[in-house]
Amino acid sequence: MGLAPCPQNADPVHFRPVMRVDFISDVVCPWCAIGLHSLEAAARRIDGLTLELHFHPFELNPGMAPEGQDITEHLQQKYGGPAEQFAASREALRQRGEALGFAFNMDARSRIYNTLDAHRLLHLAGTLDAGLQRRLKGELLQAYFSEGRNVSDPAELLAIAAKAGMPPEETRAVLESTRYADEVRAAEQEWPRLGISSVPAVILDQRLLVPGGQPVEVFEQALRQALETAPAPAA
């Protein structure tokens, strides 16, 4: 699905375009939180535009142990560099988030966690309703980045999912099984084929790739470009 065509005999003044957006991300990726809120802020600048968001999995640390790892230790092992450098980066992220209305609580977030189960729940939500999937994504991001909660813990995930409005029985059934694990892994195998090796990766109207947690202005420009270059509906 791309942009919804204006129906025959519809009043163009009241027509509201709907754009599909495929958002590839991880729950513990701070730039993914930045990217999502920047994208939605950009969409609000375009009169009448509605985004139909679909979230897809990308695990930054698929081999992470269930108990997680100290975040500073993890960053030093993965990227190298002094702890002071990471502290400066976290402060820059906090300020970016604050400008977008999203709270990064750096004192609360001390560990990084495995996110397979979170992605399995997001897959379930996507089979039910795109709006529900967006709410769950938002609750997961807030739980981890703002509240420092363990997004690999089944009890925490049940509570987070309930807050998003997920059906409790289906949520519990997924968490007590391996359901959707194969689907998550299969989706993740697609990204290298499409040239995607980092997140967030945002695909507008199934045509235009915007990589990274871009500023609002960059997303706005990309959204307008997607609108202006949308193929004409078939006659």
24: Cβ contacts below 8 Å, ≥ 6 apart: 55, 56, 57, 58, 191, 196, 199, 200, 201, 202, 203
- CA 105/CA 90 separation, integer angstroms: 10
Residue 160's H or E segment, with its range, is helix 154-164
pLDDT given for residue 14 in this prediction: 40
| Torsion over CA: 78, 107, 27, 224 (sign) | negative
- CA 70/CA 73 separation, integer angstroms: 5
How large is the average pLDDT for residues 164-192? 98
pLDDT given for residue 16 in this prediction: 58
185: Cβ contacts below 8 Å, ≥ 6 apart: none
User: Within 10 A of 162 (CB to CB), how many other CB atoms are there?
Assistant: 13
pLDDT at position 9 over 50: no
CATH of domain 12-228: 3.40.30.10
Q: How many helices (H) and strands (E) in the chain?
A: 9, 6
How large is the average pLDDT for residues 35-51? 97
101 by Cβ neighbours in 10 Å (0-12 / 13-18 / 19+) ranks as: exposed
What are residue 210's DSSP bridge partners? Answer: 202
- CA 20/CA 58 separation, integer angstroms: 19
As a 3-state breakdown, the chain gives helix, strand, coil percent values, each rounded to 5, of 50, 10, 35
Task: State the average pLDDT for the chain.
Answer: 91
Domain coordinates in residue numbering, the chain = 12-228
Greater confidence, 132 or 80?
A: 132
- CA 134/CA 131 separation, integer angstroms: 5
pLDDT given for residue 93 in this prediction: 94
pLDDT given for residue 12 in this prediction: 39
pLDDT band at 235 (very low <50, low <70, confident <90, very high): low
pLDDT at position 38 over 90: yes
pLDDT band at 27 (very low <50, low <70, confident <90, very high): very high
pLDDT at position 20 over 90: yes
Overall pTM > 0.95: no
pLDDT at position 2 over 60: no
pLDDT at position 174 over 80: yes
